[in-house]
Structure 1
Amino acid sequence: MPSSSRHPAVAALLDRAHTLGADPRNTNYAGGNASAKGSATDPVTGQPAELMWVKGSGGDLGTLTEDGLAVLRLDRLRALTATYPGVEREDEMVGAFDYCLHGKGGAAPSIDTAMHGLLDAAHVDHLHPDSGIALACAADGEKLTGECFGDTVVWVPWRRPGFQLGLDIAAVKDANPQAVGVVLGGHGITAWGDTSEECERNSLWMIRTAEEFLARRGTPEPFGPLLGDGYRPLPEAERRERAAALAPVLRGLASTDLRQV
């Protein structure tokens, strides 16, 4: 679509996505997503419709195009809260997003669609920066998040990505009007704003603030010095014995939410 006919919210979203995605400190390649909400005329009724444009499944923020956006009707997406069957049937919700698409709908909606659509914010970023993940995956991540950001950023405990996580974040935002974002336990960060510029500013502030906090609090060798020449591989029989003992533990961890192996 020519830029002259592009919705202003889409133009602002793509500019923000390219800025954030161009720097690997902000998110990994093909990781994270961003969204914008706005009003457009429904070609069937001629009435205004509230829409959300969000990066679809797959793709990269740094090279995102309009074709890579899913376009959904907010009234239909939010109506799913009345029929959501609960976390036991979470996988069904991604398919339900197809019934919320506007027109041809664009790209396929991702599992993070609810995170963007249920938040009462015009612009939302969900990113996987190294600094944010360091806090999110720390054993005392909730405590460190408070020390790093105060009450401007709120901790959200681990929840498998999906509709319930979107409900969780929306509830946290409503209960903390001073907050500009959240750290998602074991996952990453989400930030928001009333404008695209504010959202980008909040995302970058969270990332850089976490970087500075980690630089102040970190140590050069947090796990001790590197192993020296005195260390050699274990004998093969012992390696096999330890691998056999470890494999069931890894299998259990991989299947925490859903049987995988």
Structure 2
Amino acid sequence: MENHAVEELITRSNRLGADKRNTNFAGGNTSAKGTEKDPVTGEDVELLWVKGSGGDLGTLKAANLAVLRLDRLQALKAVYPGVEREDDMVAAFDYCLFGKGGAAPSIDTAMHGLVDAAHVDHLHPDSGIAIATAVDGEALTSKVFGEKVVWVPWRRPGFQLGLDIAAIKETNPQAIGTILGGHGITAWGATSAETEANSLWIIEQAERYIARNGKAEPFGARLPGYGALPEAARRAKAAA
């Protein structure tokens, strides 16, 4: 029988991934934490189910989830050597797998496992990326979301980014998520429904702000000689 937390995670992921305004194809990852019995000891163990490396949220299935022991993942904080050797931590995730482990853990696993929330969404929505990549993204985050969403300066995905987001959540109890500079959004919640609602609120707030304040041609007027190729030429290039 499939774990209830996994069922909720799959349902939420498929709903979010079905709308490409929420995240681009094969972009983003979602997770849930819960309890299962260890098949060897019969004792309950805390687990993390998180979308594995690659794949698409809209078509996510249980087989596409990485399954890790939360205690072992959390224990990696004690051996983390720092950002200069951050790549070593991705290989360490393999030693945290539970049972057969499922899919290969992605580089974003730390973001999900270290944040103290039962459910976490990390998405790449168009509206969120518009805020995240703006030159005044930090100021915009405060203006658009108030204290409910916190800006995270750009950092390459990995263990340190997970630590950064975990610290932000701990010190900002009013926050429901973050804007990741130059990257996307992360939201969390105590339940799957709350997390999905928080993700959608961030996306929709950004959409409303852009609709009110955006420009018809945000990248400026089209320059002669730089327009799209005619359809026939585009098809020929795509076929080639």
Tell me which interval the TM-score lies in, with the shorter structure as reference length.
Answer: over 0.9
When structure 1 is superposed on structure 2, of 22-31 and 215-224 the one drifting more is 215-224
Q: 1:175 aligns with which of 168, 171, 178?
A: 171
Asked if residue 109 in structure 1 is aligned to residue 105 in structure 2, the reply is: yes
- Cα deviation 1:91-117 (Å, max 9, x = unaligned): 111110000000000000000000000
Q: How does 1:9-24 map to 2 (within 5 A)?
A: 9-24=5-20
Shift of 1:46: 1.3
The corresponding residue for 1:87 is 83
The corresponding residue for 1:26 is 22
The higher radius of gyration belongs to 1
Asked if residue 166 in structure 1 is aligned to residue 126 in structure 2, the reply is: no
For 2:47 and 2:6, locate their aligned partners in 1 and report how far apart those are by CA, in whole Å. 11
Q: How does 1:72-221 map to 2 (within 5 A)?
A: 72-221=68-217
For 2:22 and 2:225, locate their aligned partners in 1 and report how far apart those are by CA, in whole Å. 38
For 1:83 and 1:140, locate their aligned partners in 2 and report how far apart those are by CA, in whole Å. 36
For 1:117 and 1:224, locate their aligned partners in 2 and report how far apart those are by CA, in whole Å. 42
For 2:182 and 2:84, locate their aligned partners in 1 and report how far apart those are by CA, in whole Å. 20
Shift of 1:222: 2.7
Q: Which amino acid aligns with 1:55?
A: K
Gapped runs of 5+ residues in structure 1? 234-261
Moved over 6 A (4+): none
Shift of 1:137: 0.5
Shift of 1:47: 1.1
Q: Secondary structure of 2:66's partner?
A: strand
The corresponding residue for 1:70 is 66
Shift of 1:221: 2.1
Q: 1:43 aligns with which of 7, 17, 39?
A: 39
For 1:71 and 1:221, locate their aligned partners in 2 and report how far apart those are by CA, in whole Å. 44
For 1:215 and 1:144, locate their aligned partners in 2 and report how far apart those are by CA, in whole Å. 14
For 1:176 and 1:10, locate their aligned partners in 2 and report how far apart those are by CA, in whole Å. 28
For 1:148 and 1:204, locate their aligned partners in 2 and report how far apart those are by CA, in whole Å. 14
In the superposition, the TM-score normalised over structure 1's length comes to 0.85
For 2:75 and 2:50, locate their aligned partners in 1 and report how far apart those are by CA, in whole Å. 18
The corresponding residue for 1:223 is 219
Q: Secondary structure of 1:151's partner?
A: helix
Shift of 1:68: 0.2
Q: Which amino acid aligns with 1:162?
A: G
Q: Aligned pair count?
A: 226
Gapped runs of 5+ residues in structure 2? 227-240
Alignment RMSD, CA only?
A: 1.0
